[in-house]
């Protein structure tokens, strides 16, 4: 349902994406990598925010590489929830329904699943990071995307809240039954969320058996030696 074929991208003659290919169905695939490894750039290329130098992106066998972001039917949750401060939580979530897009029924379903009924009239500035992330996720899902992209959406949230949110996010994303790409630098976070896993190093992607395997690939690629106590 989502196919990425030999994507390449350079900035200032430095490769950021180097022949990245990925073929996935309705699963949650987590890409693990250090900052600067190319994770966020990959999501932005798939979303249409960044234009690749070469390569192709397909959704349901349709080449969408040249389409504008709003034509791709992709849900995108950035690292820092981009909510409108002058709108309530409910108005933010309903924003995706403008121009006849999306589904009020789906919105209501995920408001219920993520426990958002008590904060619907509140403005983003009064919400915790966890609630902001939930609102951002529901807004993307209510648009009925064909693919979901999540760029470290819980990076600003403490571990205790994250441990509660990750199973909630996984339940909702599995309920949608669409290809989901989630990027993180944290193998623990990846292990709680993912169905399958990839390591990203220096713009290249490798499928791995478990989130913990990402450490071995990253250490080997950067010649990082394990500390000995």
pLDDT digits (tens, 9 = 90+) for 54-63: 999 999 999 9
Tens digit of pLDDT for each residue in 28-43?
999 999 988 999 999 9
Residue scoring higher pLDDT (117 or 98): 117
Answer whether residue 228 is part of any domain. no
**CA–CA dist 134, 166 (Å, integer):** 11
Name the nearest CA neighbour of 29 among 158, 145, 154, 200: 200
Q: Is the pLDDT of residue 229 over 60?
A: no
The dihedral sign for the CA sequence 38, 44, 46, 52:
negative
For residue 228, name the pLDDT band (cuts at 50, 70, 90).
very low
Answer whether residue 94 is part of any domain. yes
Q: What is the CATH number of the domain that holds 20?
A: 3.40.50.300
**CA–CA dist 171, 196 (Å, integer):** 15
**CA–CA dist 153, 130 (Å, integer):** 10
What is the pLDDT, as a whole number, of residue 184? Answer: 94
Check: CB of residue 1 under 8 Å from CB of residue 179: yes
Q: Is the pLDDT of residue 112 over 70?
A: yes
What is the pLDDT, as a whole number, of residue 102? Answer: 87
Question: Edge-to-edge strand order for the sheet containing 2-11?
Answer: 14-24, 2-11, 54-59, 62-63
Cβ partners under 8 Å of residue 107, min gap 6: 93, 94, 97, 138, 141, 142
Tens digit of pLDDT for each residue in 175-213?
999 999 999 999 999 999 999 999 999 999 999 999 989
What CA–CA distances, in Å, run from 25 to 82, 120, 216? 28, 33, 26
Widest CA span in the chain = 60
| Average confidence score pLDDT of the chain | 92
Answer whether residue 227 is part of any domain. no
Answer whether residue 229 is part of any domain. no
Tens digit of pLDDT for each residue in 144-177?
999 999 999 988 888 888 898 999 999 999 999 9
The domain tally of the chain equals 1
Domain extent, residue 147, equals: 2-222
């Amino acid at each position: 349902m989502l196919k990425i074929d030999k994507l390449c991208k350079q900035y200032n003659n430095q490769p950021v994406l180097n022949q990245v290919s990925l073929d996935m169905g309705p699963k949650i695939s987590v890409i693990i990598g250090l900052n600067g490894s190319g994770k966020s750039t990959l999501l932005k290329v798939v979303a249409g925010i960044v234009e690749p130098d070469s390569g192709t992106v397909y959704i349901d066998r349709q080449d969408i590489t040249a389409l504008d972001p709003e034509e791709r039917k992709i849900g995108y949750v950035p690292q820092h929830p981009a909510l409108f401060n002058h709108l309530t939580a409910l108005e933010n979530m309903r924003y995706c329904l403008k121009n006849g897009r999306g589904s009020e029924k789906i919105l209501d379903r995920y408001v219920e699943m993520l426990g958002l009924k008590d904060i619907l009239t509140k403005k983003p500035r009064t919400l915790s990071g966890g609630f902001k992330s939930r609102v951002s996720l529901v807004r993307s899902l209510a648009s009925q995307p064909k693919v979901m992209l999540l760029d470290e959406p819980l990076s600003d949230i403490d571990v205790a809240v994250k441990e509660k949110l990750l199973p909630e996010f996984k339940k909702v994303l599995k309920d949608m039954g669409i290809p989901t790409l989630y990027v993180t630098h944290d193998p623990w976070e990846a292990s709680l969320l993912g169905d399958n896993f990839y390591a990203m190093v220096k713009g290249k992607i490798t499928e791995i058996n478990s989130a913990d395997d990402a450490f071995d690939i990253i250490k080997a690629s950067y010649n990082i030696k394990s500390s000995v106590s």
